[in-house]
Every structure is written in C-alpha cells, then in structure tokens.
C-alpha cells in the first residue's frame, strides 16, 4: 500500500501490517527504541501529544519536517537516540508516519514498525508469523514516496521465497529496490522529494543514517496503543 489514503483497497482484517516512514518517523522509533527508549505512543495531533506531556511523556515530532515548537524533540533519529531519553516514554506525532500507524491500528491484527534500519529482522518475524501481510508506506500527504517504496521492496526481496505477491505495487517496489540496492543512500538523497525537503531544513545527516539497511535488530510492535520492542 504505497500511501495510507488507499488503505481501504487493502483488506487488513486478520493480517499483519508493517508500517514504514523511512524519512523519518519509523526510523526514529526503531533507532530510539533500539538505543533504550522505553515506549513510543503515536498520536494524530499536537494537542494530544501535549496532553501526554502533562503525564510525564517526552513529546516528539514535526509538522512539515520542522520540530513542533512546544515539543521536547523533533523528528531526527539522532535526537531520539540521546542518552537522556533512555528508559523514557515518548509521545510522537508527525505529518505522515503517525497517520499511517493510526490508520493501520483501526483494522490490522498486528502492527510492526519497519524501517530500512531493521528490515531483515522484520522479514524474519514475518517468516515465522506465516500470515498475510500488508506493507503500509506513509508516503507524503497522499503521494507515494521513493524511500518508503524502497523499504517495501527491500522487505519483499527478503521474503521472496516465502510469499506470493498479490498486487502490482509490490512488484514495482521490488523492481525499484533491485535497481537501487547498491546505492540506496545516493538514490534516496538525490531523487526522493522528502530528502530534498529535509536537506533544505538542514536535516541532511539524517538521510544517510535512515538509508542504512540493518543498522539494528530491534523489532518494534504496537500493542494497546504503545510501541515497544
């Protein structure tokens, strides 16, 4: 599913949803939880996040790529990994990533948080689960995005012997990944529209970090509204 806006075309009941927003929401979640963050609660609005801050949560996220003024941290994996947040609970809202998770939450059986940073461990989990899977790419405001499509392709590539692809988007993602896999960083940096946006916002260093495959083997799962490893 290349953007959550077409999610109704995919039947999620009884399936596992893998949600990704490589630049940068799910990369932050994977990197932060791997570093020691205790949990992440994804919410839709800034107001909801500020309510959580009254209960002691760290607030994180952005609008249009820029940190929300009232929040503790923005949407850079480097911020989420800082030692002062180890053992802490984060409440997060972003332009597209937390929207995709919220949409998936309405219907899927189980929700896994994926990024290039943890793609192989997600694949291993799916192999052991033996269930149908929908990969939900956050995209950008209703449009597919290259980096999320590449994640979908990378995941499908690792599952090829296990699965039948049931739609053209999966085949397109796989083909795109195979064409770019030897230079993922450059492909994302030079071609992805959100990479260009982030470069303008001085978040260029996040691009190379988020484009790494298998930086860690953290497997974040959403349970009862909360994402933990």
Q: Where along the sequence are the contacts to ligand MLT (CB under 6 A)?
A: 21, 23-25, 62, 65, 75, 94-97, 138, 198
C-beta of 164: minimal distance to ligand MLT in Å?
A: 31
Instruction: Say how far apart CA 119 and CA 205 lie, in whole Å.
Output: 20
Residue 132 has a CB neighbour count (10 Å cut-off) of 16
C-beta of 113: minimal distance to ligand MLT in Å?
A: 12
In the complex with ligand MLT, the residue whose CB is nearer, 77 or 153, is 77
- Residue 168 sits at the vertex; the CA angle it makes with 165 and 173, to the nearest 5 degrees, is 85
C-beta of 99: minimal distance to ligand MLT in Å?
A: 7
In the complex with ligand MLT, the residue whose CB is nearer, 131 or 141, is 141
In the complex with ligand MLT, the residue whose CB is nearer, 21 or 103, is 21
Residue 124 has a CB neighbour count (10 Å cut-off) of 14
C-beta of 104: minimal distance to ligand MLT in Å?
A: 14
C-beta of 74: minimal distance to ligand MLT in Å?
A: 7
In the complex with ligand MLT, the residue whose CB is nearer, 95 or 118, is 95
Identify any residues that bridge with 143 across adjacent strands, giving them in sequence order.
140
Give the CA distances from residue 166 to residues 31, 124, 154, 156, 208, in Å, rounded to whole numbers and listed in that order.
Answer: 31, 20, 17, 12, 32
In the complex with ligand MLT, the residue whose CB is nearer, 80 or 158, is 80
- Residue in the shown chain whose Cβ atom is closest to ligand MLT: 94
Give the CA distances from residue 143 to residues 15, 149, 152, 178, in Å, rounded to whole numbers and listed in that order.
Answer: 24, 11, 15, 22
In the complex with ligand MLT, the residue whose CB is nearer, 65 or 144, is 65
C-beta of 203: minimal distance to ligand MLT in Å?
A: 7
Residue 102 has a CB neighbour count (10 Å cut-off) of 16
Dihedral over Cα of 49, 65, 107, 58: its sign: negative
């Amino acid at each position: 599913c290349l953007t959550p806006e077409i999610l109704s075309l995919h039947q999620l009941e009884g399936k596992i949803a893998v949600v990704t927003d490589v630049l940068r929401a799910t990369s932050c979640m994977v990197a932060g939880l791997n570093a020691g963050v205790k949990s992440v609660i994804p919410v839709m609005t800034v107001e909801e996040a500020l309510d959580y801050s009254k209960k002691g949560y760290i607030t994180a996220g952005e609008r249009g790529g820029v940190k929300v003024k009232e929040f503790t941290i923005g949407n850079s994996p480097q911020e989420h990994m800082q030692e002062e947040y180890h053992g802490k609970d984060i409440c997060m809202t972003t332009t597209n990533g937390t929207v995709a998770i919220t949409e998936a939450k309405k219907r899927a059986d189980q929700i896994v948080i994926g990024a290039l940073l943890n793609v192989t461990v997600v694949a291993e989990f799916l192999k052991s689960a033996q269930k149908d899977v929908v990969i939900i790419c956050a995209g950008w405001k209703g449009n597919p995005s290259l980096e999320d499509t590449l994640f979908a392709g990378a995941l499908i590539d690792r599952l090829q012997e296990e699965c039948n692809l049931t739609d053209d988007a999966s085949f397109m993602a796989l083909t795109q990944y195979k064409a770019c896999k030897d230079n993922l960083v450059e492909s994302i940096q030079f071609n992805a529209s959100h990479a260009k946006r982030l470069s303008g916002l001085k978040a260029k260093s996040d691009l190379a970090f988020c484009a790494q495959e298998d930086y860690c083997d953290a497997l974040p799962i959403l349970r009862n509204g909360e994402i933990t490893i």
